[in-house]
Amino acid sequence: MKKTILITGATSGFGKACAEHFAVQGWQLILTGRRTGRLEQLQQQLGEAVLTTMTLDVRDREQVFAKLGSLTDVDVLLNNAGLALGLEPSWAVDIDDWETMVDTNIKGLMYCTRALLPQMVSRDSGHIVNIGSTAGSWPYPGGNVYGGTKAFVKQFSRNLRSDLLGSKVRVTNVAPGMAESEFSNVRFKGDIEQAAKVYQGTEALRPEDIAETVFWIVNRPAHVNINVIEMMPVDQAWGPFAIHRH
Ligand code: NDP
Ligand code: 8X3
């Protein structure tokens, strides 16, 4: 029987690449995101693989529970919808940007998880794959609340595993580093030049890299849980501790 994956934020980047990859591999897709037009395009592109599309803002708790709460046969929930806004130091940020990141990356992911988990627990099968980030473990200037939201994803994923011990439901945190998608366009609010500079002269991860990894994770034998995967482009690594000299 075909398996079903529900992808949040399927309209772009990692989510779209996952939709394409899983479709080719014979999975059924439930695709969600805010941009209806893009969901329709994906439906046309991927044809029968798309079970359904749902225009859904993960920040809308009522909608999330109304739309996801009644689903019964979701094998994999890919909590991918998310964003960074701005790169300003914490004393200069727009507080609305912080709230949007918390509402999307933390609360949206919480709502989707809580809406779908009961059916997984009662079936005693399922897999929640959360898209975290290297920013959830490694600080950088301007990463302030974005990194904080991804640290939440990391620890929430571990704590879910603790709750689920004794069931066959699996949980994984995938933590990519720099990857080229619409992420930087969103972060820099449509400043395409600034966004392009992030990837200039370097080779970032591609959304397909994340899709292949997610596919590998959910296809491990049923007794194996991949807790976390941190992945970076070869062109990215850590820096030394920063020192302020007087
Ligand atoms: P994109 O901007 O290309 O895609 C983000 C997706 O999230 C879009 O499909 C968007 O859909 C969706 N989304 C955003 N806000 C909401 C919302 N409120 N409700 C529903 N969907 C929403 O970026 P990426 O593919 O790169 O990002 C995907 C995930 O990966 C994010 O969680 C991001 O933080 C994380 N990540 C990205 C990295 C990178 O360098 N690119 C590295 C590490 C992690 P729509 O606008 O249609 O709603
Ligand atoms: C996205 C990667 O380094 O821009 O999560 O925070 S980074």
At 220, the pLDDT band (50, 70, 90 cuts) reads: very high
Decide whether any atom of ligand 1 lies within 6 Å of the 80 Cβ.
Answer: yes
Is this complex's ipTM strictly greater than 0.85? yes
> Can you tell me which residue has the tokens 């030394």?
240
Side-chain half-sphere exposure of 210, counting CA atoms within 13 A: 30
- Residues framing ligand 2 (Cβ under 6 A): 133-135, 143, 177-178
Decide whether any atom of ligand 1 lies within 6 Å of the 182 Cβ.
Answer: yes
Catalytic residue numbers? 146
Atom 23 in ligand 1: residue holding the nearest Cα: 183
> Which pLDDT value is given to residue 194?
98
> Which pLDDT value is given to residue 193?
98
180 Cα to the center of ligand 2, angstroms: 10
* pLDDT, tens only, 23-45: 999 999 999 999 999 999 999 99
Residues 6 or more apart whose Cβ sits within 8 Å of residue 125? 75, 168, 169, 222
Residues 181-208 have a mean pLDDT of: 98
Decide whether any atom of ligand 1 lies within 6 Å of the 36 Cβ.
Answer: no
Task: Give percent of the chain above pLDDT 90.
Answer: 100
- Residue 112 CA: which ligand is closest? 1
Sketch the domain layout of the chain as residue ranges.
Answer: 4-231
Residues 165-184 have a mean pLDDT of: 98
* Confidence (pTM): 0.99
* pLDDT, tens only, 97-149: 999 999 999 999 999 999 999 999 999 999 999 999 999 999 999 999 999 99
Superfamily of domain 4-231 in CATH is NAD(P)-binding Rossmann-like Domain (3.40.50.720)
Mean pLDDT of the chain: 98
Task: Please check whether residue 130 is in contact with residue 156, taking contact to mean a CB–CB distance below 8 angstroms.
Answer: yes
